[in-house]
């Protein structure tokens, strides 16, 4: 089954931890939401892309282990040192959900474009495959956002896939530099208006419009950030409007 409209689930939500090691993951409710958005197939198909961490085998293996014993068909597409599936387009179009992990969004975008994945993923999105992910896997679908891909000091990334004509900020509450830089970049026009997610928050887009924010924990927020005609009280030309997320069960 596929989504009834082009759908993106862009998040600052990772796996839950079983606390038995760094990659001992358990899929939280955000994955149930992704499958629901895909039309609630009886045995959903999900493909993991770990390009942002160089297709780290430990993370790829942890993704499979997280879903072990569940009625989910898991696959992955690695691009290092060559694609791991013979027909990348056919494989991605056959999925219900494509889930992109965090890491370097700048490297991810460069590698995807070399392999033509930018065009394939756009086709999959239009066909109703739910595109989702965390951190870099959130930023990539937007015009751009803030990233540490270039070093420890946050910088703008402005060459996202732009399936969504908005900017994006992830980890908006947990990484102190994200919020002020994002406000400045939107305020000075480097980035278009967009949406920010605190840790534990996801953004659901149907077509190119945000339809809701969701959260897997209490006390969290999403934010709409837009440029102002004049200056905001703190001197930036941007303002934030809180979006209360729906709590996922």
Q: What are the pLDDT digits (tens) for 216-237? A: 999 999 999 999 877 655 566 8
Among 13-17, 29-33, 141-145, the minimum mean pLDDT is found in 13-17
Separation of CA 138 from chain center: 2
How distant, in Å, are the alpha carbons of 25, 45, 124, 125, 245 from that of 95? Answer: 22, 5, 9, 11, 27
Residues with catalytic function: 135, 171
Tell me the pLDDT band of 18, cut-offs 50, 70 and 90. Answer: confident
Q: Where are the domains of the chain?
A: 7-247
pLDDT of 190: 95
For residue 125, how many other CB atoms are within 10 A of its CB? 23
CA angle 29, 34, 36 (to 5 degrees): 95
- Contact between residue 95 and residue 129 where contact means Cβ atoms under 8 Å apart: yes
Among left, alpha and beta (phi > 0; psi -120 to 50; other), residue 205 is beta
How distant, in Å, are the alpha carbons of 62, 64, 199 from that of 22? Answer: 9, 15, 18
Q: pLDDT higher for 102 or 228?
A: 102
What is the pLDDT of the chain when averaged over all its residues? Answer: 95
Q: What are the pLDDT digits (tens) for 161-205? A: 999 999 999 999 999 999 999 999 999 999 999 999 999 999 999
- Choosing among 3.40.50.880, 2.130.10.10, 3.40.50.10860, 3.40.50.720, the CATH entry for 7-247 is 3.40.50.880
Report whether pLDDT(1) > 80.
no
Question: What's the predicted TM-score (pTM) here?
Answer: 0.95
Tell me the pLDDT band of 159, cut-offs 50, 70 and 90. Answer: very high
């Amino acid at each position: 089954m596929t989504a009834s409209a082009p759908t993106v689930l862009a998040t600052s939500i990772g796996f839950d931890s079983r606390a038995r090691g760094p990659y001992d993951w358990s899929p939280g409710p955000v994955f149930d939401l992704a499958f629901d958005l895909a039309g609630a197939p009886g045995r959903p198909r999900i493909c993991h892309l770990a390009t942002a961490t160089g297709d780290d085998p430990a993370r790829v293996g942890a993704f499979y282990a997280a879903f072990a014993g569940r009625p989910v068909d898991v696959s992955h597409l690695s691009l290092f040192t060559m694609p791991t599936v013979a027909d990348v387009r056919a494989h991605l179009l056959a999925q219900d959900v494509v889930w992109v992990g965090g890491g370097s969004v700048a490297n991810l975008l460069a590698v995807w474009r070399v392999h033509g994945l930018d065009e394939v993923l756009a086709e999959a999105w239009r066909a109703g495959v739910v595109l989702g992910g965390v951190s870099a896997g959130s930023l990539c679908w937007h015009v751009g956002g803030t990233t540490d891909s270039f070093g420890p000091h946050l910088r703008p990334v402005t060459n996202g896939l732009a399936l969504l004509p908005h900017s994006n900020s992830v980890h908006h509450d947990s990484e102190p530099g994200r919020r002020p830089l994002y406000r400045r970049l939107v305020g000075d026009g480097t980035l278009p208006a967009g949406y920010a997610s605190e840790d534990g928050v996801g953004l659901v887009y149907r077509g190119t419009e945000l339809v809701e924010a969701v959260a897997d924990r209490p006390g969290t927020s999403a934010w709409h950030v837009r440029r102002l005609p004049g200056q905001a009280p703190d001197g930036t030309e941007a303002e934030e409007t809180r979006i209360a997320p729906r709590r996922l069960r």
